[in-house]
Amino acid sequence: MASPKILIYLLRRDLRVHDNPIFHKLTSMSSQANAPFTHLLPLYVFPAHQIEVSGFLSSSDEKSPYPEARSKVGKFWRCGQLRAKFLAETVWDLKQNLETIGSGLEIRVGMLHDVVKQLVEGFKSKGVQVKGLWMTSEEGYEEKAEERQVRKIIVNAGGDFHLWKDEKYFIDDDDIPFDDPQKYPDVFTKYRNTVEPLREAPRKVLPTPKKLPPLPQNIPPQAHPFKIPGNLKDLIAALQKPLDAGLGLKNPPQMPSAGASSAVPFAGGATSGQKRLKHLIESGAMTRYKDTRNGMVGTDYSSKLSLWLALGSLTAREVHSALIDFEEGKTDVGKGAEGYGKGENKGTTHMRFELLWRDYMRLCTRKYGSRLFLVGGFRNARNIQWKHDNSIMQRWLEGTTGIGLVDAAQRELFLTGFTSNRARQNVASFLTKHLEQDWRLGAEWYECNLVDYDVSSNWGNWQYTAGVGNDPREDRKFNPVKQASDYDPKAEFVKAWIPEVRELQPEEAWQCWKASYAAKQKPGLRGNIMAERPLAKISFTPRSGGNDGHRGGGRSRGRAQWF
């Protein structure tokens, strides 16, 4: 009997079966008479430097061989409980989807190169050679280091290493009109102009494979001292076990007993992501997207597709393809929704615009590399003296600054793993422009908490807002009280997440220090640090008439967009 020829597919942020170039290629190769591989081992590793893995220790007597996965500046956990849960759900959904087409997914923890080395040596001890390893290229300093380390192990073992281009984005790498990353424009509008019209830019979605090569037999187990759970519930528990529920906060926010709910009540995984995309089209939310995207309350004011795009369980061109089908009336999806079969509308146009923004943030990471994480940013700015005040940071983290919009957003983020794009802009601007605290602390906190965390979008947008990125207006500064007046005129968002101010008028809820003496004596505000000692007192008088809180229009050029 011929010896098995094993190919390892190491997945990272390409966690899908559909529209996947590697699975697509393997489908065609497996039908060949002399296929180079007889068995496929899809592999996902929870990386020990980015996600705390001590919860996988086989016993309480064991000790992890890896240092804690904490951030560099603030020493926060790099992946908090809610993001860990969403990631686990995504990985498990992929595992189940692969099993339906005759394959599966091996789950491991550790450093990627350690895990790959253990597998290669484990198979070799059984007389089986790993013929090759394929993985998708990712942008990011750590990700590039992983690729180099894994390549070295495979090549030294005599195997074939292939790094595939990342195809989860809107514009294919081969269609970017620049032959050198250093030529990428530093202004988004200039880049956009080179790839328009956007409706014609993406490539076609790849078909979903119906069958994949079988898993190899006698797969080497997870290396000591870790043990991989056999079900999703225990997988989530292992990821969350070492993470303090308060993430190190002295007074962590508590979920209001009523009146507040998550804007992202979704499970991770491609199955959930495709369901969400279909809902956006059928409900008309996609058509209304440009008019509602600055909202703050509810599930449908924005797409929330960033949750799945970040992990590659949805692709941007998949979203684009669904928009084309809707605009041209090619399928029955969205048949009863406004705009069906009537061509591109302002909602679908703006969705493509935001997908391109994600592309652009990724290209900035490719261009500037490790400068994404440096205090001076892309600009290498040396003229800003950032502060490090622990007491101020603790109040910003806990949502007790006294600025209603900022505090509500921080509490929502901590309790749900999400807050709106509008809120993120204001939170980031307040920390960096009003409080003058090191922007990297904010970026690290978002990395810990956001279920839609994406390295390029998160760090690039924090740089943008802090004035050290590639924003042509480095002095941009949001007035969070004016922003609350514009986008939360009735203080619905603020009151939902800050029960202490629910009995106040909107102007008082936005800054509760402005409340009357009598109001400050009521339970919740009496002696409350937000009312007595706000971190800032911001001058603002609302315009007469106000607005409905659903401002449409395009956003200012160059403004950060987390999507």
**Binding-site residue ranges for FAD:** 289, 302-306, 452-454
Name residue, tokens 């895990």.
115
Query: Encoding tokens for residue 183?
Result: 């030529």
DSSP string, 248-263: T-SS-----SSS---S
Distance CA(355)–CA(162), nearest Å, equals 27
Angle at 62 between CA 445 and CA 42, to 5 degrees: 65
- Closest CA relative to residue 102, chosen from 214, 270, 21, 27: 214
State how far the Cα of 12 lies from the Cα of 45, in Å rounded to an integer. Answer: 8
C-alpha to C-alpha distance for 155 and 174, rounded to whole angstroms: 26
Other Cβ atoms closer than 10 A to 306: 23
What per-residue string of b and e applies to 480-505 under the rule 16 or more CB within 10 Å gives b?
bbbbbbbbbbebbbbbbbbbbbeebe
How far apart (Å, rounded) are the C-alpha atoms in residues 550 and 443? Answer: 28
3-state SS assignment for residue 133 = strand
Structure tokens at 457: 């979008």
Of 221, 223, 339, nearest in space to 280 by CA: 339
- Binding residues, as ranges, are 289, 302-306, 452-454
- Does residue 377 sit in helix, strand or coil? coil
Whole-angstrom distance, CA of residue 167 vs CA of residue 109: 25
- 8-state DSSP, 433: I
